[in-house]
Amino acid sequence: MTLTLQKTVAQVFARTPVTDIHTHLFDPAMGPLLLWGIDELLTYHYLVAEVLRARPETSIKAFWTMPKPAQADLIWQELFVKRSPVSEACRGVLTVLQALGLNANTGSLAEIRAFFAAQTVRGYVDRVFKLGGVERVYMTNDPLHPAERAAWEKGFERDQRFLAALRLDSALKDWPASVGALQALGYAVDTSLSGRTIGEVRSYLDDWCRKIDARYMAISLAPDFTYPDATNSLTNLMVKAVIPVARERGIPVALMIGVRKAVNPYLGDAGDSVGPADLATVERLARDFGDVTFMVTLLARENMHGLCIAARKFKNIVPFGCWWFLNNPSLIREITAMRLELLGLSFIPQHSDCRILDQLIYKWTHSRAVIGDVLASKYDDLAAAGRPVAEADIRRDLTELFDGRLISQRPSIS
């Protein structure tokens, strides 16, 4: 790869605002739901799992009883002071602090905490978006979460940079566990999957898509999710409620497949694991519902090649992001190169999956560096084949990859 081309791609990419299509962030008007600051960064579940490996003698139960600042202090001392912070999660914290002009080579968090204490929420949101090169983000919104629902029902002046996606997990998974919650909202569902219940679930989805202006619906799925399966309540709800509402509203369904929940329940959010999915299920969904876009991301590395092949066969499959355990530079590099080679520019390379606002800085800084290098190497290949690219070409391609346009495209069946 020529250094000039690599530099040009990096410069253009740095000026290209991105749309982050999947986060767990919230509009600043939703108050404490939006997490930010050093204590939130350090107690993110990636680092919780890491510190309990570094300190195996520490009781998990005792860790959870500690106040959050004490947890953050422990993580800082164990992973940043006593050891070199080489993991991607640790490096991410350092990238954030460096971007903010803060000293990370310190044994105490006092000065760092003082910086965050002096920030206003809206001012800090502006700063983070600028440092991360982010133009807008998609939230993950769950109306069955009491605090989220209260915010939406009260109403607030929305920040136009925070778009909504309707999360389906709590309403549809583990049916009929959610029946009581849906009934409390006025939906006449029961434990069966009768025609009336399906209709009421569709009403719930349609009502809340309209209320929050959801641009897509999303659900995380276990590796063994199967379609077709007439005996499975979740599959029935997806086929009879979710997909029809998506079709009627002209919005995608995001399938996030491969999470094995709570393999170590004592770790809380840090206790989930990964398993390979059956890509035939995705292909059958795409085949049978050709007028609905399925945005698909998978948690298992071994599924990524199969997803690319499935997307080559079905134009309504849109691979997106390097999710969760795949959001590491070595894997982002491999996955992005494979997608470019098999799909051209018809995929969404990355999303942050941020739960903490500050993570936008490091996840996009790190992803830009890796994805930019991969793209530059492909441009180098084009030049060797007699088709050099100009800066205008690079700018066009990066915009197509990162402006989120694939979310709003509606496929035809033919």
* pLDDT for res 216: 98
Q: Do the domain assignments include residue 325?
A: yes
Range of the domain at 11: 3-35+123-407
Q: Do the domain assignments include residue 397?
A: yes
> What CATH code is carried by the domain that includes residue 393?
3.20.20.140
Which pTM value belongs to this model?
Answer: 0.97
Q: Do the domain assignments include residue 276?
A: yes
Which residue from 165, 154, 161, 145 is spatially nearest to 213, judged by alpha carbons? 165
* pLDDT for res 408: 86
Q: Do the domain assignments include residue 67?
A: no
Q: Do the domain assignments include residue 90?
A: no
Q: What is the pLDDT of residues 341-382, one digit of tens each?
A: 999 999 999 999 999 999 999 999 999 999 999 999 999 999
* pLDDT for res 1: 62
Positive or negative torsion for Cα 11, 13, 18, 21: negative
One DSSP character per residue, 199-216 reads HHHHHHHHHHHHHHTEEE
| Phi, psi (degrees; rounded to nearest 5) at 55 | -125, 70
Q: Do the domain assignments include residue 44?
A: no
Q: What is the pLDDT of residues 156-203, one digit of tens each?
A: 999 999 999 999 999 999 999 999 999 999 999 999 999 999 999 999
Q: Do the domain assignments include residue 375?
A: yes
pLDDT under 70 in the chain at which residues?
Answer: 1, 414
* pLDDT for res 414: 64
Cβ distance 251 to 215 under 8 Å? yes
Q: Do the domain assignments include residue 277?
A: yes
* pLDDT for res 2: 78
Any alpha helices (H) in 155-221, and if so which ranges? 169-172, 179-184, 195-212
Q: In the chain, how many domains are there?
A: 1
For 34, residues 6+ apart whose C-beta sits below 8 A from its C-beta are 25, 26, 27, 28, 121, 125, 357
- From CA 241, how far away is CA 64, in angstroms rounded? 39
* pLDDT for res 121: 98
